[in-house]
Amino acid sequence: MLSRKCVMSASRGFWVKPLGHLVVLSSLCCFISGYSERNRTEDLMSKYPVIDGHNDLALQLRILHNNRLSQVDLHNISKVATDINRLQAGHVQAQMFAVYVLCGAQEKDAVRLTLEQIDVVIRMCTEYKDFELVTSAEELRDSERRHKIACLISVEGGHSIDSSLPTLRMFYQLGVRSMTLTHSCNTPWAESSSKLYHVYQRHNNSLTHFGKAVVEEMNRLGMLVDLSHTSWDTAWAALRHSRAPVIFSHSSSFSICNHGRNVPDLLLLDLKKKHGLIMVNFHSNFISCSDVANISRVADHFDHIKKVIGAESIGIGGDFEGAVRFPQGLEDVSKYPALIQELLHRNWTENELANVLRNNFLRVFEEVERVRDHLSMKRPSEVQIPLEEVHNPCRLVLRPPRPRGPSIRSVSSTAQHKTKGPLIPVMALLISSLVFIA
């Protein structure tokens, strides 16, 4: 409003003031308007700091430093877009850190690699006083009051549990509170949006009986069911089967950019009915369907999703460290205020943005925990996936090993047979000795 008044004032004075005065007046108005908008953004984000749904810093720590935290200072890390200083500059109060291992580890050492990634997240979030590891909505709220950056752990890709519900439960015990059902490869029980890997191909079976058991066990534990990276059919099946709200932790609008990782409007409508959440991804290829994008195009995704399902179903899932190309002006985690300022410029209300920044995620997390509490009397699931559905050559069936070579009985018989020869002359000698003595 201030900018418009300035322009009107300048227009009325055009005929009576020198051109130089007009230029100075216009520049002053723009400066005041810009300063006011920036301060409004800062005030809003200080009151409602960001909860971001997806960050792959742990992956970069493995790639660049082989998880040796002693080699880095997390306050200021080169070659990445995330460190403590920039998280604080971007008003990021809570970060879902992804625990991700490549799909090539499926049927191999995915569980071991996942445990190592959980370890590095736990270490970085306990060894640095600016971070705080949290495992509940209440702890997340408390960390904000203590001015800490809350760390939530999410397993990215169902292949990390090796089709094992006990493994899922052990990850939960270690602090994991979210899991994407797939990454860029199918699991034996769920389908990915990607066609990069030709594994576990099925027809009309996007979430198998075991896949539904995974969703049920996540509901019982109080884990967020994350549908980013899943096929649309798997997402629909999980939406129907889950008793708790689900999330897309880092996905954008298919109507704005028709990439398979994005979410179509019909699926968004079902997500709203489930009281779920889509956390918008900043990756340029998901924003503009090309390598180049800008903040305005990111805001288009927010605008469209709000138009379809409302601001109460939207969050932020930047995907820093996981993606390789980001929009101009959103190159690292310090730049979140630029996006919020753009949305304010597009007449988003402060209440809508407070929901997008953190309140929507807190609502979903608390609802997931309420479902968990409702299911507290339910026993841990003992559903097991049929071995023929896994066909994993690295799986060992725990049975007593078959003895190798001749059996104990046959060895004993052989030994007896071999001793018959020497016993005959020995017995003869003993008898002759007895006769001689007598």
Active site residues: 54, 56, 156, 183, 229, 250, 319
* Amino acid at site 211: G
Q: What are phi and psi of 179, to 5 degrees?
A: -150, 130
For residue 403, count other CB atoms closer than 10 A to its CB.
8
- What is the distance in angstroms between the CA of the first residue and the CA of the last residue of the chain? 134
**d(C-alpha 268, C-alpha 278), whole Å:** 8
Tokens of 155: 């397993």
Angle subtended at Cα 178 by Cα 361 and Cα 128, rounded to the nearest 5 degrees: 85
- CA dist list (Å): 144 to 54, 130, 245: 18, 11, 23
Q: What is the CA radius of gyration of the chain?
A: 31
- Matching residue, tokens 């971001």: 52
Under a CB-based contact definition with an 8 Å cutoff, are residues 312 and 355 in contact? Answer: yes
Closest CA to 188 of 207, 175, 170: 207
Tokens of 57: 């810093």
For residue 212, count other CB atoms closer than 10 A to its CB.
18
* Amino acid at site 208: T
* Amino acid at site 307: K
Residue 98, beta-bridge partner list: 154
Half-sphere exposure for 223 (CA within 13 Å, toward CB)? 30
Tokens of 282: 């900043």
Which residues, 6+ apart, have CB-to-CB distance to 20 below 8 Å? Answer: none
- CA dist list (Å): 45 to 24, 38, 72, 149, 236: 32, 11, 29, 14, 34
- Matching residue, tokens 């493995």: 62
**d(C-alpha 365, C-alpha 177), whole Å:** 9
**d(C-alpha 271, C-alpha 277), whole Å:** 7
Tokens of 430: 């003993």
